[in-house]
Chains A and B, each alone.
Chain A
Amino acid sequence: MAASPTSSGALNRGDRLFGVKLTAPAGVILAVLLLIPTVLTILYSLHDVPANGRSLGPFVGLENYTIVLGSSVFWRSAWVTFVFSVGFVIFSTLFGLGMAILLNQRFVGRGLARALLIIPWATPWLVIGILWKWFADGSVGGLNAVLLMLGATTDYYDFMADPNSALVLTIIAAVWRQASFAGILLLAGLQTLPEDLNEAASLDGAGVFQRFRNITLPWLKPALVTVTVLNIIYAFLQFDVIFAMTQGGPGDATQVLSILIYRQLFGVTQIGLGSALAVILGFIALAGGLLTVKLLYRAERQSA
């Protein structure tokens, strides 16, 4: 930063003040809209807030947190969130990498294929949920029709009524979108890879897999770190797809934390408990993101 020609040292006072003035409107808006509600939610989480939300109610300290952390519903939901997130992150990243490598090859119709890659990303999350809910439907769904035609199944199956397949399908639906996002970013990374690097390596006798491990992967590292971190955050905060597909059901099979919080806040209006849960979820997302950055960069330093 300090080496850039416009580091603050090189600017006079008037210039810096001009920078402050230009940034001020955005700064004020974000402070009001992000900071104040966040602080309020943290305050809510420390009080026994009445259901109408008109006042904070009596201060209860960390009681909401102890209730949350002591309840089996929370741990069950945390486990579902974990399973969903692991599946979501691994498959989004891997499929994205696969699609990026595929669309970086030369073949007839590549331009069209790259346009296809963008469609899932441009589709609203909620629409993806609706689309996959019906695609997997037990009576009018297309998935059943395809599996039947392929001979993989003999009869229609109600995937969304089965706790296990419902969770798997919410993961698939979310991956359908997020793999495209990862693919777009990773493909852009691949396109900046200098071709001479690969040519030189193949002249030296490096095979496809060697070139992938020693040239492509290190080159994609920064993009892969970004994609993985974003995927982790998206995973923990996912709401729309699950809301549209199962609303947390059947039973609590797909009740991730964001759905649980929604039910606490707007279903049973437990504002204090819901807020404590929301604070916990925010910390998990932050910790997950930071931890990934750290782990991935350490791995890079070791391999370098």
Chain B
Amino acid sequence: MSDIALTRTSRRRGKAATAAGLQRSTTATVILYLCVAVFAVWILLPVWYLVVSSLITPTQLGVKPFPMIPSSITFDNYLSVLTGATGSKGFGSTDMGARLIPAIGQSFFVSSVLVILNLFIAGIAAYGLSRYPFTGSRGFELAIIVSRVVPAIAIIGPFFVAFRVVGILNTPWALIISYNVFTLPLAIMILKNYFDQMPREIEEAAKIDGASRLQTLWIIIVPIARPGLVAAGVLIFLESWSEFFYSLVLTNQLTVPPLLAGFQSVQQFNWNSLAAATVMSMIPPVVLVVIFQRHVVGALTAGAVK
């Protein structure tokens, strides 16, 4: 049923498009496609440079000008990073490259634990704020928005001291705890907004049928709110995956971003290997966002414009 309706609207849209296309003058069309080309170059040129760098040999890299379209490609840079044979020694005796795979693992671990924890904690908080507002709930929401201006650098000192005392410096737990500072407010904002836009009729029906507030939340709300939860989950994952500053200070290059920064400061670590490592670090977030594009953009817009 809905499929048919969809095709129909898209067909109508298609006709409208051709009509508009006919209206557009040739000059306007040329300008439009020129702008599209400029846009594509603006986005793709640096990315293309990165990918090409990761696929050529150091000898090719030394050629001036840089071979934007290389005559041959190699996967050696990826292999050397993955097998830990980049030929660069850190302060210890192990190859720096060998640390990439464990760092990717740690990044996945930290990000996944945060997604699960935050979806639960932020989920119930957002639902409470949306459906059962209390004295001070508005103030709490405002505080969450204002927390965005607190510089990470302003609160890192106390974290460092506290984690040293507890003995969890340089462990994923230091990051799982500290990342809540930015992931939890973000998740609450997005989910509160999502719950606000959800119709209340189903909950009211459940209430009349004698379901308790908790039953309504678990059995009725969670399944319906799945798209919102997915979007919030993806955004939490992205934020945790990308985080650099806390990880730089609280760990010894445990996750991917500070490790990449560490690679940069090692003399023997050439740009080809660094480029390969950088490409690998970009794949998870980009793939995730492209898959969940619709969900994420919707949540981002709702959460930010609020």
Contact = CB atoms under 8 A, between A and B. Distances in A.
B46 interface: yes
B153 A131 contact: no
Interface stretch (B87-95, B97-105, B177-185): B177-185
Nearest to B120: A25
Contact of B281 (A124, A176, A239): A124
A71 interface: no
16 contacts: A6-B132, A19-B128, A25-B125, A30-B181, A38-B154, A107-B33, A107-B36, A127-B281, A131-B47, A139-B64, A142-B49, A144-B65, A146-B68, A223-B305, A226-B304, A278-B151
Query: Which of A102, A230, A237, A261: most chain B CB closer than 10 A?
Result: A237
A201 to B, nearest CB: 15
Query: Which of A34, A145, A188, A266: most chain B CB closer than 10 A?
Result: A34
B261 interface: yes
Contacts of A148: 65
Nearest to A289: B149
B250 to A, nearest CB: 11
A189 B302 CA distance: 10
Interface in B58-72: 61-62, 64-66, 68
A108 to B, nearest CB: 9
Contacts of B151: 236-237, 258, 261, 278, 281-282, 285
Given A8-B134, A34-B181, A184-B301, A122 B286 contact: yes
B128 A20 contact: yes
B122 interface: yes
Given A18-B132, A53-B161, A184-B301, A141 B66 contact: yes
Contacts of B275: 134
Contact of A237 (B152, B158, B271, B304): B152
B99 to A, nearest CB: 16
A107 B305 contact: no
A68 interface: no
Contacts of B52: 142
Interface string A3-44: 001111001000111111111011101100110111011001
Interface in B166-224: 177-178, 180-181, 184-185, 188, 200, 213
Contacts of A84: none
A26 B261 contact: no
B245 interface: yes
B66 A142 contact: yes
A76 B180 CA distance: 33
Given A33-B177, A185-B304, A243-B261, A120 B133 contact: no
A63 to B, nearest CB: 18
B74 interface: no
Contacts of A261: 151, 153-154
A30 B144 contact: yes
Nearest to A14: B213
Nearest to B128: A22
Contact of A19 (B36, B134, B152, B181): B134
Query: Which of A106, A109, A156: most chain B CB closer than 10 A?
Result: A106
B282 A286 contact: no
A130 B278 contact: yes
Contact of B157 (A40, A133, A258): A40
Interface residues of A, number: 100
A126 interface: yes
A67 interface: no
Interface string B26-64: 000000110110011011111111101100000001101
A19 B136 CA distance: 11
B244 A18 contact: no
Given A11-B132, A26-B125, A142-B45, A122 B289 contact: yes
A82 interface: no
A142 B56 CA distance: 13
B154 A127 contact: no
B230 interface: no
Given A33-B177, A113-B40, A142-B68, A239 B121 contact: no
B133 A7 contact: yes
Nearest to B242: A124
A26 B188 contact: yes
Contact of A258 (B33, B144, B153): B153
Contacts of B274: 130, 134
Contact of B154 (A23, A113, A145, A278): A278
A282 B149 contact: yes
Nearest to B188: A26
Contact of B278 (A17, A25, A127, A274): A127
A121 B281 CA distance: 14
B125 A23 contact: yes
Given A5-B200, A19-B137, A30-B180, A107 B32 contact: yes
